[in-house]
Structure 1
Amino acid sequence: MKYSRLSIWNIVVKCCMSWVILLQACNNSNEAIEFVSESYGEAEIISIDPKKDIDEEYSMKASLIVSSIDYFPLTLPGDMVIGEVAKMIHHNGYVYIFDRHTESIFIFTGKGEFINAIQRKGGGPEEYRDIKDFEVDRSSGNVLIYSPRSQKILHFAITGEFLGAINNKVQHTSFFPISDYKIAIYNSRLSNGHVFERTFPIQPRFIIANEAEEIEKQDLETAYREQLLMYPNSSFGFYQVGDSLRLMESINSVVYGVDLEEGRVYQRFAFDFTSANPPRLYDMEADELSTFVEDYKNKKVGGWASLHRVNETADLLHATYFYDKQVCRIFYSKNNKSQVNIGASWMNDMDNIPMPLVETTTNEGELLGYYGSDMLSMIVKHGKSKPSQRILDLEKSQRDAESIILVKFRLKDF
């Protein structure tokens, strides 16, 4: 089976932060709304003022905080091409990639060697109709695929063998396997009135469900409001650091710790964007929210920062956020409580090319991103500075490969 070719534009968006444009356009006026801060309890507050100057020296010299960086081209069988990397997970020495274009899960070693591809799209009992999200069972390395159209979470071995499925009618944004018969589910703003009939429009954003589709525990109770569907928001969901489970919620700019025993979440980190904070949409009254969303659509309010993604290791947090039609990033040391603010561009002065966006972290505390081979060729051809010899050699070897190159790097203390 022949797969579609790499989408240059998708890879440009992913890899060159200086060219990333925030789709949720807004102007610089926030006079139409008054922001009210909310107490975050015991959460560690990370304060960022996007209007202040970024750390220019750090932005131009990744070597100030990067101690090592390595490149691993992915090897693929001749008839396979990854079209669009939608999600990447590293676990136990393996890299799992969800290709949105072909709706497949590709599995590689940490050095880019091909292991397998799960490609079971169809209408059969051991197939999925679509993929919205996937996860990895940390105890076995097996793959779980969420298919909304199939209303199931399907379980596959790393070898591709079908292992079973959990029926799931709860609309959700992200999930995480707890065991073979239990899952944690996060729902940002979708209606689940068919599940919570007795309380709807009040429904939880966090639940633990079993294989019988019974809700065992729940938290983050909120009122369903259709207006929230009109407000663009960024990536969010579960991720794991060590033995701890986290939940990132972009609307509130909060990272929660997840207590699976108690079936609750607690605020672990809160991102304070100072005067650029978005309003607390979950806390708005219905009429106020309707007015706000209408003004937002008409660009009468805006000028705030929106949390996009958080990656975490034992020692640091890495966060990307949208501000002023660009994607910016910050590194935060959990040990020293210090931070480095990077703007919309981060240059690798060791190799004279832009640094990639961080997609995930490794078990050893490294950060993992990627370049598309087409994107790397474009950087080499049009970059202002001559890349290092190892980049020139890498580009030459991958020029016609139509693949992607994993980028693994480690940070120094700062």
Structure 2
Amino acid sequence: MRNLGAAIITTLLFLSACGEKRIEPIVEAQHLIEINNPIEIVLEDFIVDVDTLRLELSDASIMYEIKNIHIMGDRYYINVWDRTTVYIFDSRGKYINKIMDKGNGPLEYISITSFEVDRINKRVIIADGFSRRIFVYDENGNQLNVIQLDFNPIIILPYEDGFLQIYSGPRHEYENPEMENYNIHFLDSKGKFISSAIEVGTPERIDIGSDYKTDCLENGEILLQPVLSNIIYKIGTGKKVIPFYGLVDNSSKHKFLSQKEKESFEYIVRKGDKRMKEKESKGFLLSWGAVSDLTDYAFFAFGFDKKYYLYYSKSLNKSLFIDPEKVKGDRNLVDIFFSYPVSIHGNRFYISPHPLLIDQVRDQLPDGILKTFFENTYDDSNPVLISFTIKFPE
């Protein structure tokens, strides 16, 4: 594994359907991350520093299943799957407040299309694609501002003094022709369009939507991996958009889709399920924009019907590609720890096992912290959080 720094990656090896290698040009990138064959790893040697957290249950804080969590300071901002509420808890699991302004009023949203935290300005940002508005709250959940837009927001992120919209999907959605053919839209503090980046036709840009496309970094920069792309862009200060990570596959058993094959999936959402499964069954590795940047690692999730995880150590300049089905150790623990993270912050991964999974494995777990924790977790409990770090093999 090599860190190319500012060097330019100009080629990428792809596998064709007949198994031969061929070279395809891609956009330039600053760092190269190798996708290798999945290695057999022992769970206990990889997952370390496990901690558990029980979220306070009350009439005001009751919830069922967590969609995702953003961590800001010592608080957890939790979005649930019904897209109506953001709950706020402290780091000990104590309930603080919730944002639940669902309704049809001038200060209410119809549904939470996207939600993010602004760690620099200590704000919570909610977008509602139905009413075309951005809702801004302080760190305690008090509403500060409602911003009317002249377009349907998809994913709204805090950026410098304004906002940034990530859009990937059917075009011809915008009244402003300057926004029409671009993937990234920079907005001012009033939600007005300023400029765009990543034009249609840019290599590695594919127009398929995803909930997992971005990671807001502590310094206000943003990582973006377009769906099915092998390029991860960094959106830095001054509206600079650079190809930051490039995923390459020189030796693994997996195959990448060619640019032409990727473009054939344009605009497909649910109808593409069968085609995606067929591609995976033939060994193609599909990326869905699930990129996260930790203090010491970068983390990527792959797979449409089958899961693969890629961990990249920044200090070692090495990558670790894992197939959860091949991880050695107690299978119940493997199912828990290789659930998709609801949050990644610092060097810690946060997971929230589904209540049905907890019921299924509770009596079968080996003695240890999780068995004890789950024995005191009941059907009428709030969702639980498990956090851990990883030990990168030498």
Shift of 1:160: 3.0
After TM superposition, the structure 1 stretch with the greater mean CA deviation from structure 2, 70-79 or 130-139, is: 70-79
Q: Distance in 2 between matches of 1:244 and 1:312?
A: 11
Indicate conservation of the 8 Å contact 2:299/2:312, yes or no: yes
Aligned to 2:349: 367
Aligned to 2:224: 247
Does residue 111 of the first structure (1) align with residue 92 of the second (2)? yes
Q: Which of residues 259, 266, 281 is equivalent to 2:236? A: 259
Q: Distance in 1 between matches of 2:96 and 2:325?
A: 34
Q: Distance in 1 between matches of 2:260 and 2:116?
A: 28
Q: 1:154 and 1:233, CA in 2 relative to 1: closer, same or farther beyond 3 A?
A: closer
Letter in 1 for 2:286: S
Aligned to 1:305: 285
Q: 1:110 and 1:35, CA in 2 relative to 1: closer, same or farther beyond 3 A?
A: farther
Does residue 55 of the first structure (1) align with residue 33 of the second (2)? no
Aligned to 2:51: 70
SS of alignment partner, residue 276 of structure 1: coil
Does residue 94 of the first structure (1) align with residue 71 of the second (2)? no
Indicate conservation of the 8 Å contact 1:151/1:169, yes or no: yes
Indicate conservation of the 8 Å contact 1:74/1:405, yes or no: yes
Aligned to 1:194: 174
Q: Distance in 1 between matches of 2:142 and 2:150?
A: 24
Q: Which of residues 222, 225, 229 is equivalent to 2:200? A: 222
Pairing of 1:317-396 with structure 2 (within 5 A): 317-322=298-303, 325-345=305-325, 353-354=333-334, 355=337, 356-362=339-345, 364-381=346-363, 383=364, 386-396=365-375
Q: 1:212 and 1:36, CA in 2 relative to 1: closer, same or farther beyond 3 A?
A: farther
Indicate conservation of the 8 Å contact 1:74/1:113, yes or no: yes
Q: Distance in 1 between matches of 2:362 and 2:341?
A: 21
Q: Which of residues 37, 43, 46 is equivalent to 2:24? A: 37
Shift of 1:311: 1.8
Pairing of 1:268-283 with structure 2 (within 5 A): 268-273=244-249, 276-280=255-259
Shift of 1:39: 2.8
Q: 1:358 and 1:35, CA in 2 relative to 1: closer, same or farther beyond 3 A?
A: farther
Deviations 1:68-105 (A, max 9, x none): 11011111213543233222211212111111225100
Letter in 2 for 1:207: H
Aligned to 2:185: 207
Indicate conservation of the 8 Å contact 1:152/1:165, yes or no: yes
Q: Distance in 2 between matches of 1:367 and 1:198?
A: 39
Letter in 2 for 1:219: A
SS of alignment partner, residue 375 of structure 2: helix
Q: 1:86 and 1:30, CA in 2 relative to 1: closer, same or farther beyond 3 A?
A: farther
Q: Distance in 1 between matches of 2:274 and 2:358?
A: 38
Q: Distance in 2 between matches of 1:44 and 1:389?
A: 40
TM-score by length of 1: 0.76
After TM superposition, the structure 1 stretch with the greater mean CA deviation from structure 2, 241-250 or 88-97, is: 241-250
Pairing of 1:76-87 with structure 2 (within 5 A): 76-78=57-59, 80-87=61-68
Pairing of 1:170-189 with structure 2 (within 5 A): 170-179=151-160, 182-189=162-169
Deviations 1:27-52 (A, max 9, x none): x9946xx9862334233222225xx4
Q: 1:193 and 1:223, CA in 2 relative to 1: closer, same or farther beyond 3 A?
A: farther
Indicate conservation of the 8 Å contact 1:116/1:158, yes or no: no
CA RMSD in angstroms comes to: 3.5
Deviations 1:316-338 (A, max 9, x none): 11211006x31111211111122
> Looking at both structures, which has the greater relative contact order when contacts are Cα pairs under 8 Å and sequence separation is at least 6?
1
Q: Distance in 1 between matches of 2:261 and 2:103?
A: 37
Letter in 2 for 1:240: L
Indicate conservation of the 8 Å contact 2:341/2:351, yes or no: yes
Deviations 1:13-70 (A, max 9, x none): xxxxxxxxxxxxxxx9946xx9862334233222225xx4x211x1xx2332333110
Aligned to 1:157: 138
The size of the alignment, in residue pairs, is 363
Shift of 1:237: 2.5
